[in-house]
Amino acid sequence: MNLEYSAAEMMSITAARALTNEMICFVGIGLPSEAANVARLTHAPDATLIYESGTIQTKPDVLPLSIGDGELCESALTTVSVPEMFRYWLQGGRISVGFLGTAQIDRFANLNTTLIGDYREPEVRLPGGGGAPEIATNAKEVFVTVKHSTRTFVKDVDFVTTVGFGRDGKARDGVPNIGRGPTLVITDLCILKPDPVTKELVVTSLHPGVTSEDVVAATGWDIRFAGDLGTTPTPTAEELKVLRNLKARTDAHHSGQ
């Protein structure tokens, strides 16, 4: 049976599949939250979702608008203070994976959520780093999910809010007590992983119907492709049903219905 699905649904479901049942996941708002909760509602019911506001084992019925959304606290097993969340859980090495979004990402998986343009006279001010810099430093690994375009995938980010592998790909070399950094980037076109040696992002899998030329056109540097380039598995009917129901509940809730 051929299922109809959008590129955005393909991205969210592919990102959801990256989470496993035993993971303790520090979840960012937006696309990461969508993916993490689809995982929780499908193949990873025992995954522990943690949000920056201090909510632990959070099981929201609808997607939160922000880390301060009451849905997170109401649906959590418990809520701790933000200092405890960062000092004990994150810096204590208890987070399996940080799931982040971004406004810009470069070839060495550095993330920018601070500004667009020159620092002294920016074209756009963005929301800032929040907990992302600490998450990328202390979580055992980081997944990033973001829509693929030349505006987002730039050769060098305008500002390094959250370090991936630094401007030269060597920022994590020889640094003790630091996580592996970004191990997976999921977009609406493909899956990317850092090269084991250079740390530059490499396309390892294309989503169905996407060509190499599509990815090249949407990337702001000379993107490389793995020799054993794969094709990402398509969403299942159950995954699509769960995602669509989640988004429908969220839209209804936040519109006051």
pLDDT in tens, the chain (257 residues): 568 999 999 999 999 999 999 999 999 989 999 999 999 999 999 999 999 999 999 999 999 999 889 999 999 999 999 999 999 999 999 999 999 999 999 999 999 999 999 999 999 999 999 999 999 999 999 999 999 999 999 999 999 999 999 999 999 999 987 899 999 999 999 999 999 999 999 999 999 999 999 999 999 999 999 999 999 999 999 999 999 999 999 999 888 87
CATH number of the domain encompassing residue 78: 3.40.1080.10
- Residue 8 CB: number of other CB atoms within 10 A? 14
Pick from 53, 89, 90, 59: nearest CA to 76: 59
Looking at the domain assignment, is residue 54 inside a domain?
Answer: yes
Looking at the domain assignment, is residue 1 inside a domain?
Answer: no
CB 157 within 8 A of CB 111: yes
Looking at the domain assignment, is residue 188 inside a domain?
Answer: yes
List the beta bridge partners of residue 193: 202
Looking at the domain assignment, is residue 121 inside a domain?
Answer: yes
Pick from 29, 178, 167: nearest CA to 102: 29
Looking at the domain assignment, is residue 2 inside a domain?
Answer: no
CB 220 within 8 A of CB 157: no
Name the residue range of residue 30's domain: 7-254
Looking at the domain assignment, is residue 100 inside a domain?
Answer: yes
Which position has the token pair 């960062």? 86
pLDDT at position 2? 66
Looking at the domain assignment, is residue 242 inside a domain?
Answer: yes
Distance between CA 59 and CA 201 in Å, rounded?
32
Global pTM reads: 0.94
The count of structural domains within the chain is: 1
Question: Which sequence positions are flagged as catalytic?
Answer: 52
